[in-house]
Structure 1
């Protein structure tokens, strides 16, 4: 289970350390792509195959389905941690996530997301304020 939050920095080469607990949970083969929100989503091979299968089952007759498939698939890249656990995050993914230097790496169950620290701080504060209504909307926990 991929849960928790870790603070890190992106180095001058665009690399970020993926915490060992997340590396163990994701496995050795990793796929990075644009997140639905302004973040980078990282999947292990099993999680990526599940997402791929869900995307493949979408109707190609609907423009929104085709566009979602195109965007997630075209943005996907295989990434490999180096011996120090660092991942090179391509510049187009860092740009999508508005990542500059300081990041949070968060576990969200089936994958990991990399967020710009300021962006996540703002998002988290808003979500905390809205938590009661969010829980109500999803019909409790």
Structure 2
């Protein structure tokens, strides 16, 4: 599982060092994709294959599903961490997530998310109370 919050820096070459505790789980390859709320998602290759399989099962006659599948495919990049645990984020990914030097990597249980630090802080400020007050109806039985 991917849990916790980390604050690695993005270097001048667009490289981000993955948190050490996740490197073994991602050593076999990972997929970086554009994600919701202008963040990036980092999936282990096997987990991403499950997401992709569910995505392609959606009806392509549904415009939203079609757009999602297209964006998922076009917005995904396969990466292999280097010996220092770094991955290179493409210019398109950095632009999409508005990434600056200051980044936040959060565990999202079955994948990681990469956020610009200011964007993450803004998201938390807007949504932390919603999390605190969440009720079972809106969470579909999660809690």
**Short-chain TM bin:** over 0.9
For each residue in 1:17-48, what CA deviation from the matched residue of structure 2 results, as whole angstroms up to 9, or x when unmatched? 00121222334211111012211111101111
Report the TM-score when normalising by structure 2: 0.92
Gaps of 5+ in 2: none
Three-state SS of the structure 2 residue aligned to 1:37 is helix
Q: Which residue of 2 aligns with 1:68?
A: 68
For each residue in 1:46-75, what CA deviation from the matched residue of structure 2 results, as whole angstroms up to 9, or x when unmatched? 111110111011001111111100001111
Counterparts of 2:117 and 2:110, CA distance in 1: 21
- The structure whose residues are more often strand, as a share, is 1
Counterparts of 1:83 and 1:24, CA distance in 2: 12
Three-state SS of the structure 1 residue aligned to 2:106 is strand
Q: Which residue of 2 aligns with 1:57?
A: 57
Q: Which residue of 2 aligns with 1:9?
A: 9
The answer to whether the 8 A contact 2:102-2:117 is kept is yes
Q: Which residue of 2 aligns with 1:39?
A: 39
Three-state SS of the structure 2 residue aligned to 1:33 is strand
Counterparts of 1:126 and 1:29, CA distance in 2: 34
Q: CA deviation at 1:111?
A: 0.6
Gaps of 5+ in 1: none
Three-state SS of the structure 2 residue aligned to 1:98 is coil
Report the TM-score when normalising by structure 1: 0.93
Counterparts of 2:22 and 2:38, CA distance in 1: 20
Three-state SS of the structure 1 residue aligned to 2:103 is strand
Three-state SS of the structure 2 residue aligned to 1:9 is coil
